[in-house]
Chain A
């Protein structure tokens, strides 16, 4: 259907284009305002991994903007045999970090082996734990869910409260499949930032999964976002947890596992 509109929209856009103002005049106006702008520092504190492109060599073999090498008294080009680069090397830094990590890890592993044996508390009980399952699937939003969100402005931010979305979760483990509901609130800002918080629930005949969700949007129309869910099972799923990651493309991935293995326990 949209294809029928395409030629009309293209023709309209191109026909209604306005000629740009003088670029040099605009540049002057921008440059006049430049002293009022405070530059930000770069996030990456190390030298950028960007190889500055070399200018094309001039016919004489040297760059026009750079002088050629100074010849030694014997007419030869002097060879610098000592350090010609900065002392910092990203590769060296990474290797050094990996070595520190490896040595530290070896100490920790050795200590762990020493502690192993029949006296290690709870060692036998691991066999009873529910096996973890990698979850992969989709959360499909459906219409018809009752919702009356309240929206109001606070400064630049737009607050939306009491929204309800309904969905159907369809993943590779039946225990997580069922009617799904997301209750919550979000705040978003005109520059595209946004946060969402709420409660996520999945219901099926065997039990319920419920837990908090937290997410961020990447644009002001809220159609590009990612969220994380931390669900706890009840009913037949008592003692199980699921931590899932899902986004605006409706895909969901995560892990279903024994609640006794929650990382914060």
Chain B
């Protein structure tokens, strides 16, 4: 990351800021999409995060910390996005389908659907830890440093989130979609 660009944007250079947006958009969108499970909400949250970054950039003392700081701004934008749309349903490509499929494939689809549902019931903070650790492959120490929380808190969030996902996975398939199950039954 070019600290000159961050320093210039901090001073109010809009062309430097535009370069920052182009450079970091994909990185932040990836995290927002992982947290919100909806590309439209993720894009809204990412753009809002960039506006918040522009607003608060003069308060960032060390440009070297821009990347971690921008993740925290993004997580706040995701919080706001969820709050603004109570009862939202993630628009995921992976949906339980009524089209007959092979049993193993069907099981995999059901499994992903259960994960999706379990994930949706997690708080944004818990989802964030899962995304940073499992999608971006950050170590837990880096996750804690990025989110500015103690390592123990990061571990407890991940543990709690994984337990919730495991509970969601253990729900019987019949409860997920009886109709779809009937279609693949022999």
Beta-carbon nearest neighbor of B151 in chain A: A249
With A27-B25, A44-B61, A221-B126 as known contacts, state yes or no: A17 contacts B30, CB within 8 Å: yes
- B residues near A (Cβ < 8 Å) are 3-4, 7, 12, 14, 17-18, 21-22, 25-26, 29-30, 33-34, 37, 39, 42-43, 46-47, 50-51, 54-59, 61-63, 76, 79-80, 83, 92-94, 111-112, 115-116, 123-126, 130-131, 134-135, 149-150, 152-153, 156-159, 162-163, 165-166, 169
| Chain B residues within an 8 Å CB radius of A49 | 61
Residue pairs across A and B with Cβ atoms less than 8 A apart, 18 shown, are A1-B162, A2-B163, A5-B162, A9-B165, A12-B112, A16-B37, A16-B112, A17-B135, A20-B26, A30-B21, A34-B54, A39-B55, A39-B57, A42-B59, A50-B63, A52-B4, A53-B3, A248-B153
Closest A-chain residue to B7, C-beta based? A52
With contacts A18-B33, A18-B93 known, is A13 near B131, CB below 8 A? yes
A2 to B134, CA, bound (A): 12
> Which A residues lie within 8 Å of B47 (CB)?
26, 29-30, 33
Given contacts A26-B43, A30-B51, contact A1 B166 (CB under 8 A): yes
Question: How many angstroms from the CA of A18 to the CA of B46 in the assembled complex?
Answer: 14
Q: List chain A residues, Cβ under 8 A from B134.
A: 6, 9-10, 13
Q: A residues within 8 A CB of B76?
A: 191-192
Q: A144 vs B94: C-alpha distance in the bound complex, in angstroms?
A: 41
Give 18 A-B pairs besides A33-B47, A39-B12 with Cβ atoms closer than 8 angstroms. A6-B162, A13-B34, A13-B130, A13-B134, A16-B112, A26-B29, A26-B47, A27-B18, A30-B50, A31-B18, A34-B51, A48-B62, A53-B3, A191-B79, A220-B123, A220-B124, A224-B150, A224-B153
Q: Is A24 an interface residue (CB 8 A)?
A: yes
Say yes or no: A191 contacts B43, CB within 8 Å.
no
**CB proximity to B under 8 Å, residues A221-265:** 221, 223-224, 248-249
The answer on a CB contact under 8 Å between A26 and B80 is no
Q: Which residues of the partner chain B approach A43 to less than 8 Å between Cβ atoms?
A: 59
Q: Is the CB of A2 within 8 A of B162?
A: yes
Q: How far is the CA of A24 from the CA of B134 in the complex (A)?
A: 28
| CB <8 Å contact, A21 and B126 | no
In the assembled complex, the Cα of A108 lies from the Cα of B115 at a distance in Å of 67
Q: How far apart sit A55 and B135, CA to CA, in the bound complex (Å)?
A: 34
Q: Please report the number of residue pairs spanning A and B whose Cβ atoms sit closer than 8 angstroms.
A: 154
Interface range on chain A (Cβ under 8 Å from partner): 35 or more
Q: Could you say which residues of chain A place their CB within 8 Å of the CB of B42?
A: 18
Q: Please provide the chain A residues from 37 to 66 with a CB less than 8 Å away from any CB of chain B in the complex.
A: 37-44, 48-50, 52-53, 55
- Indicate whether A92 reaches chain B with its CB closer than 8 angstroms: no
* Residue in B14, B59, B116 whose beta carbon sits within 8 Å of that of A31 in the complex: B14
- Kindly report which residue of chain A lies nearest to residue B135, judged by CB atoms: A13
A90 at the interface (CB under 8 A from B): no
A53 with B29: CB separation less than 8 A: no
Task: Across the A-B interface, give the 3 residue pairs with the lowest CB-CB distance, nearest first.
Answer: A2-B162, A27-B21, A23-B25
For residue A119, CB closer than 8 A to chain B, the reply is no
Chain B residues within 8 Å of A249, by CB = 150, 152-153
Q: Is A219 an interface residue (CB 8 A)?
A: yes
Chain A residues with Cβ below 8 Å from B46 are: 26
Determine if B169 and A223 form an interchain contact, defined as CB atoms under 8 angstroms apart. no
Give every chain B residue within 8 A of A4 (Cβ-Cβ).
166
Residues of chain B with a CB closer than 8 A to A42's CB: 58-59, 61
Contact assessment for A37 and B54 in the assembled complex, using a CB-CB cutoff below 8 Å: yes
Closest to B26 in A: A20
Residue of A whose beta carbon sits closest to that of B50: A30
Report A174 CB to chain B, min CB distance, Å. 27
A190 contacts B39, C-beta separation under 8 Å: no
- Could you tell me the distance in whole angstroms from the C-beta of A131 to the nearest C-beta in chain B? 33
- Nearest B residue to A25, CB-CB: B25
